[in-house]
């Protein structure tokens, strides 16, 4: 059985694309928080590098994240930011204490 986990998504915008990426990431927050299996979903922007964003997420299990990745709002995000993202990384973390 899969267990809850935290994910940290790091996204870096291409030059002159950080406003596009910020707008599209912001649009993901509310519908993602409403998904079954989403415990939290928080968007952050690097204070020193405005083109770098972090999404802190907590999911009930891998199935919840997989569902999220296939939602219309996430698929829309992918289509809208295809040319705006220079780097994307998703780290899965297990809570120790």
Could you read off the pLDDT of 3-57 as tens digits, one per residue? 999 999 999 999 999 999 999 999 999 999 999 999 999 999 999 999 999 999 9
- Mean pLDDT of all residues in 50-65: 97
How confident is residue 81, by pLDDT bands cut at 50, 70 and 90? Answer: very high
Residues 6+ apart with CB under 8 A from 19: none
CA 89/CA 97 separation, integer angstroms: 24
- CATH number for the domain harbouring residue 33: 3.30.70.100
Which of 74 and 97 is assigned the larger pLDDT? 74
User: Does residue 51 sit within a domain?
Assistant: yes
CA 56/CA 84 separation, integer angstroms: 20
Count up the domains in the chain and report the number: 1
Give the helix ranges, DSSP H, for the chain: 18-33, 62-69, 72-81
Predicted local confidence at residue 34, as pLDDT: 98
Q: Are 7 and 57 in contact (CB under 8 A)?
A: yes
Backbone angles phi, psi at 82, to 5 degrees: -50, -40
- Quick check: pTM over 0.75? yes
**Count of residues in the chain:** 97
User: Does residue 1 sit within a domain?
Assistant: no
Predicted local confidence at residue 1, as pLDDT: 53
User: Does residue 79 sit within a domain?
Assistant: yes
Predicted local confidence at residue 97, as pLDDT: 87
At 56, list the tokens.
């802190």
Boundaries of domain holding 16 = 7-93
């Amino acid at each position: 059985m899969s267990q809850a986990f935290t994910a940290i998504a790091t996204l870096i915008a291409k030059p002159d694309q950080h406003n596009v990426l910020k707008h599209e990431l912001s649009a993901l927050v509310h519908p993602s928080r409403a998904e079954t299996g989403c415990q939290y979903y928080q968007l952050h922007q690097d204070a020193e590098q405005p083109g770098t964003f972090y999404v802190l997420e907590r999911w009930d299990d891998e199935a919840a994240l997989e569902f999220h990745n296939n939602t219309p709002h996430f698929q829309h995000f992918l289509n809208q930011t295809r040319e705006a993202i220079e780097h994307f990384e998703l780290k899965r973390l297990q809570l120790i204490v």
